[in-house]
Amino acid sequence: MVQILIQPQVITPKVGSNINLQLNIVDNAKAQVIFAHGAGANMSHEFMEETTLLLNKVNINVIRFNFPFMDKRALTGTRYPPDRMPKLLVCYETVIEHVIEQQKNSLIPLFIGGKSMGSRAAASLVSISDSLKPKALNKVLGVFCLGYPFHPAKKPEKLRLEPLFESSKAVLIIQGDRDTLGNKEEIHSYQLPEHCHCVFLEDGDHSLKPRVKSGFTQQAHMKSAVDEISFFIDRQIKTSNQ
């Protein structure tokens, strides 16, 4: 049985709101990931919790955090819209720099990713346009995306492909094949670059949830997603050591 040490932390930036983190640490971790939530639910949402525990079971440390707009929602009871992407990127970069500084003597490989909006932010941070500072960028070995939002709902013409095409790192995308923010047919038409590897989960929606009639379950799809992340991490670690 995997032993998990849970450590809450708070980052107090020089400018802006505090950032709340939660670290799930396991013994003999092969890697650590920073895992950002989507636009509709915070780091404690069931999807985030379940994915984190599944990652822990395959010897991966997980650092989750709330974008400040989400803590503001909880504090006021008002459903504020997500911050604009530039503000999200500043927050995510602050978390990456904090993790690197906290673990500066650690040799555990670092990966970043997220669910939906969080995955778009992660991919943007390693793209040519919005890249991390060199010290942080050099520490990140790859990016994983659970339900990448290729376009807004019902707006397939408003594509968000730049972070993927401009990425300086390998990117793993795990997508339900009927995701309304980018389904299998649409994604094939984008002709993604070679450094982007896309895995489709049959009949999955934006949260990887299949319909009952499909014969699949969300739990099985989430486990498959975590297995794919684990394989991706193994491949990138091996490549970085060559």
For helices 85-102 and 117-125, what crossing angle results, to 10°?
Answer: 70
Could you read off the pLDDT of 166-197 as tens digits, one per residue?
999 999 999 999 999 999 999 999 999 999 99
Structure tokens given for 91: 């927050």
Give the pLDDT of residue 130. 75
Residue 225 contacts residue 146 (beta carbons within 8 Å):
yes
Could you read off the pLDDT of 27-41 as tens digits, one per residue?
999 999 999 999 999
Is residue 182 helix, strand or coil? Answer: coil
Query: Please, which residues bridge with residue 167 across strands?
Result: 127
What is the distance between the alpha carbons of residues 184 and 198, in angstroms, rounded to a whole number? 9
Is residue 4 helix, strand or coil? Answer: strand
**Whole-model pTM above 0.85?**
yes
Number of independent structural domains in the chain: 1
Give the pLDDT of residue 20. 96
What is the distance between the alpha carbons of residues 170 and 21, in angstroms, rounded to a whole number? 25
State the average pLDDT over residues 88-110: 92
**CATH no. for residue 204?**
3.40.50.1820
Give the pLDDT of residue 16. 84
Which residue range is the domain that position 174 belongs to?
4-151+158-241
Q: Which of 65-69, 79-83, 127-131, 230-234 has the lowest mean pLDDT?
A: 127-131
Strand 110-115 to strand 171-176: parallel, antiparallel, or no bridges (unpaired)? unpaired
> In sequence order, what DSSP letters do the residues of 118-155 get, joined into one string?
HHHHHHHHTBSSSPPPHHHHHHEEEEEEES--SS-TT-
